[in-house]
Chain A
C-alpha cells in the first residue's frame, strides 16, 4: 500500500504545534510534502475536510495488543507494543517479527523487554533488539524490584539512547492487591495497596535515572504524590516523562462499586482526589503522554470475581474522545491535546511522526470534535469490549485516517 498519487487535504483546520490553522496539506510518497497547496500539481487525490480538524495520527505508547480495527477507529496510526506478549519480546527475532506485523496501514513499534523473560533479573539484548526494530525498553506490567538491575537497565539504555518505559508500582507493597487502599476497597473487602506504592517506585526510578542519565518514561502516573515527584524531577532537569490513560482522569475507585471487573485496572483506580491531581498534572504539563493502555480482555478473563479477573481495558476506541473531553473542559488546548497524543510519544520513540510538518510521515486524522456517540461494549470494534466507559455518551471521533499518505479508513 504505497502512496501512488499526491494527496491534497483541503478545507481543514490543521493542528500544528503553533496553533490551529486553516490551510491545505500535501502528501507525496508517504510523507508530508508541504503544509500549503503550492506543491499540489497535476494529478492529485483530494480529501475535502469540510471544515473539520486535521490532526496528526495518534501514536499510542504502551499497548498490550495489536488490534488494528480498534486502532483505526480510534485514529491511532502507530502503536508501541509492550513486551508482555506470549512469548515476551526479549529476543531480536521476536522484536523483528512484531516490528513488521502491522504494516503498511498500522506501524507497530515494539518495546523490548528490559530483562529476559521479564523476570526482573538478567538484562535482555537491548542493542540487538534495537537493530531489530525496538524503539524503547520496557519493564512490562511489573516493576523491577532489584534496584541494581534497574540501574544497569537504565545505564545500558542511556548508552543506546533508548527510552525506558517503567511500571511505577512498588511490587513489595502492592503484592496481590487489586484495588487502592481506601474506603471502597475496605467496603468491598478487596486486597488493596496504599497509593504510596506508586510514589515509592517513582522516587526510586527517578533517582536511578538521575544517576544513569537515562531517558525514563513512566507509562502511567496516577497519584498526587507521584506526580509531585515527577514535577520536581522535571524542574531540576531530569529526563523524565509521565503518561496516563483516560480511565485515571475520568474515573475513580467508585467505578468498582459493584465488583465491576471492567474497572479492574493496573494500576487500580484511585480515589477522586488523585483523579483530580491527574487532571491538574495534564493541565500544567507534568503529564506528557496520554495513551490508551489498550489491553482487550475476553469474557474468560473478566467474568470472574473481581480479584480473580485480569486487569486491563480496551482503550483504543475511546482514547481520542476522552482526551477531547479535557479540551472541552478547558484543561488543555487542542494543540496541546495532540502533543500528548501524538507529538510527545513520537518524540520519545524517536519516530518521524506525530506532527504535521513537512518531511514527516503522512499520518493524518480528520476529526469531528463534536460528533456525538455512545460507548458500547456490544458495538466495539476491539477484539474484546471490556471498557469501563460502557454506556457513556461522548463527543469527538476520527472520521478519516490517513497512514503514509493513503486513506485507510473513513468512519
Chain B
C-alpha cells in the first residue's frame, strides 16, 4: 500500500506477464499455486488497512458491485458487502433466495439482467453446483463465486489460508506456504464446498490434507483429489497441525446420513480431550456458523491460543477486497491485466 492508499502490485509475476490471468474467480481448481500466493499477498495489505480507524478508500469509486445471493447467507454476504464498500464501490445486494427466483430460465435471465445493468462485478451464491460457471459464461463482467452448491467456495479457502498464514507468522513459524503441515478437515465432506476448495488450496500450498467423516458423508473418490480419507476421528487428528472443523448441516440430519447430533458429537466432536491427539499447539479452524456442542465444543472454539476462528472472519473481508480489486483492474484500465471475460452474448 502506498501512502496515498493505492495498492502496490506484487512482483511475484514475470515482467509483462499476468499475475492473475482470469476474468472471473469461479473456483480454486482454476488457479495455479503462484496465483493463489499472489492473491494472498495482495490480501495482506488489506488486512493492515482494515485495522486502521479510517477504513475507506476510493479505489473502486464509481463501480457497481452486485451481490446476487440465490441462497441464504449472512456472513459471506456481509463480508462481500463490507469489502466492496470499503473500496468505495456502490454495492447492491440482491436477495434472490427470498424471491421466486430459484432456477430454470430465470437464472440465465437474471444473468442477462445483471449484465444489462452494467455491473462491474457480480458476486454469486447459488445452491446448484456449476451455476456460477454458467452465469460467468453469459456476462461480460467479472464474476466471483461466493459458493455454488457442493462445488466450490474459493474465497473461503483463500481466507482460511490467509488466516492460517497469519497465525503461523504470529508464532514465528511463518513461511510462504504450508509445506510440511498436516491439516485435518472434519465434518460433512460430502456436501461441503468449503472442503473441496480447501483441499485444492491447501494442497497447492504444500500441505498434506486429511479428510474425516462418517461413511455417509464422505464422497467417493476423494482420495483421488489427493486427500487422505478417515472415518476414525482420533486417527485423523493424530499429529495434525491444524484441525479444520466443518458445520454439521443439521437440516440434513433427519436420520438419512447420521443417526443423531448426539452420536455425531460422540464420534466426531472436537473436544479438549481429542485436541490432545493433535500436534502440540495445533490450531483450530471453523468456517462458521458453528454448532457448538455438535462438531466443536465451546471450550475448544474459544481457546485464545489455539482457535483462529474469529481471525478467519477478519481475513474474509481482506481476501474479498483483494479479489474485487484484482478482478476489476482490467475494467479500470490498469495495464497488465488480461482478464478473459465471459462471452458477453447479451452485451
Contact = CB atoms under 8 A, between A and B. Distances in A.
B107 A304 contact: yes
Contact of A305 (B29, B129, B220): B129
A258 B196 contact: no
Contacts of B128: 304-308
A182 B104 contact: no
A314 interface: no
Given A189-B150, A259-B133, A181 B104 contact: no
A76 to B, nearest CB: 31
Interface range on chain B: under 10, 10 to 19, 20 to 34, or 35 or more? Answer: 20 to 34
B74 to A, nearest CB: 22
Given A181-B219, A194-B220, A304-B103, A186 B225 contact: yes
Interface in A174-214: 181-192, 194
Contact of B220 (A181, A189, A258, A307): A181
Interface string B203-229: 000000000000000011110110000
A190 B196 CA distance: 12
B130 interface: yes
20 contacts: A181-B219, A181-B221, A182-B220, A183-B224, A186-B222, A187-B196, A189-B129, A189-B151, A189-B193, A190-B130, A190-B150, A300-B105, A304-B134, A305-B129, A305-B134, A305-B149, A307-B128, A307-B129, A307-B149, A308-B131
B108 A187 contact: no
A328 interface: no
Nearest to A180: B220
Q: Most A CB atoms within 10 A — which of B129, B149, B225? A: B129
Contact of B104 (A190, A258, A308): A308
A188 B130 contact: yes
Contacts of A181: 219-221
Q: Which 9 A-B pairs have the closest CB atoms?
A: A259-B130, A189-B150, A305-B128, A189-B151, A183-B221, A181-B220, A305-B131, A183-B224, A189-B129
B126 interface: yes
A303 interface: yes
B313 to A, nearest CB: 24
Contact of A186 (B108, B149, B221): B221
Contact of A259 (B103, B134, B225): B134
Given A187-B225, A303-B108, 14 more contacts: A181-B219, A183-B220, A183-B225, A185-B221, A186-B221, A186-B222, A189-B129, A190-B129, A259-B130, A259-B133, A259-B134, A305-B126, A305-B130, A306-B129
B151 A186 contact: no
A192 B221 CA distance: 11
B160 interface: no
B152 interface: yes
Contacts of A189: 129, 148-152, 193, 196
B182 to A, nearest CB: 21
B221 A182 contact: yes
A194 B215 CA distance: 13
Interface of A: 181-192, 194, 258-259, 300, 303-308
Contacts of A303: 105, 108, 134
Interface string B122-148: 000010111101100000000000001
B26 to A, nearest CB: 10
A306 B225 contact: no
Contact of B130 (A182, A184, A194, A306): A306
Q: Most B CB atoms within 10 A — which of A304, A305, A306, A308? A: A305
B220 A185 contact: yes
A185 to B, nearest CB: 7
Nearest to B132: A305
A307 B129 CA distance: 7
A42 B220 CA distance: 69
Nearest to A308: B103
Contacts of B150: 189-191
A111 to B, nearest CB: 29
Q: Most A CB atoms within 10 A — which of B130, B131, B219? A: B130
Contacts of A306: 128-130
Nearest to B106: A304
A242 to B, nearest CB: 25
Contacts of B130: 188, 190, 259, 305-307
A397 B153 CA distance: 46
A307 B148 CA distance: 11
Contacts of A258: 133
B129 A186 contact: no
Nearest to A192: B220
A250 B219 CA distance: 26
